[in-house]
A and B are shown apart, each in its own frame.
Chain A
Amino acid sequence: MDMLVFAGASVVKIAVVMVTVLLTVAVLTLAERKVLSWMQDRMGPMEVGPYGILQPIADGIKLFFKEDIIPSGANWVLFSLAPIISLIPAFIGFAVVPYGPNIEYELYGVTIKPFIITDINIGILYILAFTSIGAYGVILGGWASNNKYSLLGGLRAAAQVISYELNVGLAIIGVIILSGSLSMVTIAEKQAGGILNWNIIGMGHGLGIWWWIPVTQVVGFVVYVISSVAETNRLPFDLPEADSELVAGWMTEYSGMRFAFFFMAEYANMILVSCIASVLFLGGYHAPYPGTLFPGILGYFEGIAWFTVKVYGFLFLFFWIRATLPRLRYDQLMRFGWKVMLPLALANIVITSIVVYFLR
């Protein structure tokens, strides 16, 4: 009975999260085109439905019914496997993201946390591990296509993801030092009590008489955001895709639903890194003021609303950066990753550790 209740509750939570994420992906495909066009004096999609709001549905139907082409020289197994390898890690990371307050309900004798699928104590490590697997999809897809553009895109993706995964990992270590935990829930909980306690400002992390010193993680935040843009292969770091040089990079030979899988994986990854950034640096579901305005159930939804606002803020930042910046050259990308981001992340770790060690 206990197992059944637990499994049922988990399935419900997973279904809700998956539907939300997929809906957000659909919204994002439209929102990106609209935001870009508004910033570039254009209109964006206007044909399907009023102001083009039904465009994601039209795109979905189109991709679903498109011919599924496998190039004659392609490695069939890897070619089919690559989109799946891309998509699953992009979705699986949402299992440990806390969307709302850390509360517990007793349901038929089983303790259930309604606003997180599973609170495992190494949540952030789990996400890092799985998003790294997502890079395999890109590399394998590029190799298996038997196309020089795809291969070049895959190679670039390999180098880029390795370089910037490192920076993502190092950028969040400051937060982990402050929180003393790898659990996403604990990290979010430690930032309760207003905007000053968010890790980006970094006060109130138990420094005793030195409580007024902000252990700011703003360097880690900037490094994380830039590196996560690079990790999701978005402009200005979209070298694996690079429309103007490599046709469509590793996606050149993909069509139909396989292409849609890559597309969904890219947007799901964007949502995931936005969720992580808001949980790690901007206090997750905590409001910028202490506590909640509404009591009880409404307070929970207030937390979810704040989390949503933060995530969508990050997604808007993604679009904004894409509308503004041109693509980096390959050597600039590597130099920026290894010679600028990496030392900044390391310096952030060193300074945070020193402050925490001597002042706490």
Chain B
Amino acid sequence: MTVADLVKTFTFYEILIGMKATITVFIQRIILRNRKAVTLQYPHEKRDLPGTYRGMIALLKYDDETEKCVGCDLCEAACPSRVITVISAEVEGEPMKRYAREYYMDMTRCLFCGLCVDACPVDALAMTKEFAWARYNKRDLRLDKQQLLALGDRNFPEREKKLEFQHPNVAYFNIGHKNLPSKAS
């Protein structure tokens, strides 16, 4: 132990450095006023969530108020937590078309991985930025189709056109509008 170390020990040098750090922040906050708190007053002010934020899942509609979902069950298959239950049925009088007669999401189990959104072939599912969904009764978190559609209406007011009006390729091959890599010629 050198003399310098001894002097540092007896003058509480390291502690004084720490106390200097805290008082610096204090002076910047209170006297110089050039420093702001990093926290927000949550219910009054909310932070901007990133565009890729994965919040509550919603069902979407086309711009003519018809549901996008075709009842294919791929979301149910993709879900790792068995959140989704789809009961699909034929559209009356149109045997080639199907829709989800009932659609349930048990959000108590959802882990917000977004695999269902990726799996959906018609982009009927989307992730909103809603997260404040605390409920007194956990059964309130088993959302049915109407609730999921309402979530979609509230968070995505701009709706897409029906597939056949978007682009000829999309209409016939039903590939959504993912940017698929071009094939090497």
Contacts and interface: CB of A to CB of B under 8 A. Distances in A.
Interface residues of B, number: 15
B148 to A, nearest CB: 34
Contacts of A43: 37, 39, 41
A323 B19 CA distance: 8
Interface stretch (A34-42, A73-81, A150-158): A34-42
A193 B25 CA distance: 36
Contacts of A41: 25, 29, 35, 37-39
A49 B21 CA distance: 30
B18 A325 contact: yes
**Chain B contact residues: helix, strand, loop or mixed:** helix
Interface residues of A, number: 14
B7 interface: no
B127 to A, nearest CB: 31
A38 B33 CA distance: 11
Contacts of B21: 324
Contact of B26 (A38, A46, A325): A38
B18 A324 contact: yes
23 contacts: A37-B37, A38-B30, A39-B22, A39-B26, A39-B29, A41-B25, A41-B35, A41-B38, A41-B39, A42-B38, A42-B39, A43-B37, A43-B41, A46-B41, A320-B19, A320-B22, A320-B23, A320-B26, A321-B19, A324-B19, A324-B21, A324-B22, A325-B18
B77 interface: no
B171 interface: no
Nearest to B9: A340
Given A324-B18, A325-B15, A325-B18, A42 B37 contact: yes
A-B pairs, 4 with minimum CB distance? A39-B22, A38-B29, A324-B22, A324-B18
B37 A39 contact: no
A312 to B, nearest CB: 15
A41 B24 CA distance: 11
A260 B19 CA distance: 30
A53 to B, nearest CB: 15
Interface string B2-46: 000000000000010011011101100110000101110100000
Contacts of B39: 41-43
Nearest to B29: A38
A239 to B, nearest CB: 18
Contacts of B41: 43, 46
A264 B19 CA distance: 27
Contacts of A42: 37-39
B32 to A, nearest CB: 12
A313 B26 CA distance: 15
Contact of B25 (A39, A46, A321, A325): A39
Contacts of B15: 324-325
A335 to B, nearest CB: 13
Q: Which of B15, B26, B38, B41 has the most CB of A within 10 A?
A: B26
Nearest to B18: A324
Contacts of A323: 22
Contacts of A37: 37
Contacts of B30: 38
| Of listed A35, A321, A324, residue having the most chain B CB within 10 A | A324
Contacts of A40: 22, 25
A321 B30 CA distance: 18
Contacts of A46: 41
Contacts of B22: 39-40, 320, 323-324
A87 B30 CA distance: 34
